Amino acid sequence: MPSNKTILSAVQPTGQLTIGNYLGAIKNWIGLQEDNNCIYFVVDMHALTTRHVAADLRKSVYSSVALYLACGLDPEKSTLYIQSHLPQHAELSWLLSCYTMHGELSRMTQFKDKSAKNVENINAGLFNYPVLMAADILLFNTDVVPVGDDQKQHLELARDVATRFNGIYGDTFTVPEGFHTKEGARIMSLQDPTIKMSKSDPNGGACAFLLDSRDDIIRKFKRAVTDSGNEIIAAPDKPGVMNLLNIYAAFTGQAVAQAEADFAGKGYGDFKLAVGEVVSDALAPIQTRHAEFMSDRAQLDDIVKMGAEKAYPLARKTLGKVYKRVGLR
């Protein structure tokens, strides 16, 4: 695990956060904040690439901040704020777009996937999304970015743009490294374990959300797709069972091999119920704390304001350096 580094990560506020978001990102942030300069924020500007109701977006933004806090992020140890509260994100994004090639953006698989799913709204913001992400990262001279498999391509673009800019104007940006956690980093759909769990999945049973009720969580796991045969083992030909074993291991802190041993000789019904119970038990205290934070909007406003005030000097310094390099005052 990194130490004495500037670490940055964020999650979109659109939709509810899933256990995949928690295990693959937020849970890992908690340990990182102890020995690093951690910057975490809600990327509300990224959320604008899809059509939405303004009031719903505002509520989702605050709910995301409350979830960060409920999961254990400490605003005294980390910098926690809302992306749109710092205009430097958008300003640097425009500058970097002038040093990002059209061909690079055309190759982004996430753009292709989202365009295929939403053919009525293939907007320029969706195409330029990776540039804003690069600006998010490079704005703070980030050393390390905790990243899942689906974001590796975007991080590589940020690295390429930073290297290109540095090659033209001299040492300006830190070229960030990725940090990938293995256990629980990629949680798959409960209904199609060949694809990643996604909060935008139209099948509500495919995702377990952090704010789902206990009954809903257990119901979803009882209906989770498993595989032929009856052995509970992590094997390539058993993606459904392997996904549930990964989830169980991640929430209990056990190795997958130990989880396999726990369920040796048991049937799928008992196995899926046990996974659902472990997940709901782990999420119960998070849900309680989330409700407490959401009941005090003034406290949330104070926390994100403090975070933005901590982040502003860093963002302003980087943007000022970039302006000077390219000849702007």
Between CA 201 and CA 241 the distance in angstroms is: 20
Q: Which of 114, 220, 238, 272 is catalytic?
A: 114
Cβ(296)–Cβ(70) below 8 Å? no
Reply yes or no on whether 238 is catalytic: no
Q: Which of 196, 310, 317, 321 is catalytic?
A: 196
What is the rounded radius of gyration, in angstroms, for the C-alpha atoms of the chain? 21
Q: Which of 199, 310, 317, 321 is catalytic?
A: 199
Per DSSP, the residues of 26-80 read IHHHHHHTTSSEEEEEE-TTGGGGS---HHHHHHHHHHHHHHHHHHT--TTTEEE
Reply yes or no on whether 199 is catalytic: yes
Reply yes or no on whether 310 is catalytic: no
Q: How far is CA 136 from CA 17, 41, 49, in A?
A: 20, 10, 16
Sign of CA dihedral 118, 124, 127, 130: negative
- With CA atoms as reference, report the closest residue to 264 among 234, 290, 302, 291: 234
Q: Could you tell me how far CA 110 lies from the centroid of its own chain? A: 14
Between CA 47 and CA 190 the distance in angstroms is: 25
Q: At what angle do helices 54-71 and 297-326 cross, to 10 degrees?
A: 100
Between CA 62 and CA 87 the distance in angstroms is: 19
Q: How far is CA 259 from CA 214, 224, 266, 298, in A?
A: 22, 17, 12, 43
Between CA 215 and CA 212 the distance in angstroms is: 8
DSSP E strands in 184-317: the ranges are none
Per DSSP, the residues of 102-165 read HHHHHT-HHHHHHHHH-GGG--HHHHHHHHHHHHHHHTTT-SEEE--GGGHHHHHHHHHHHHHH
Residues acting as catalytic residues: 114, 196, 199
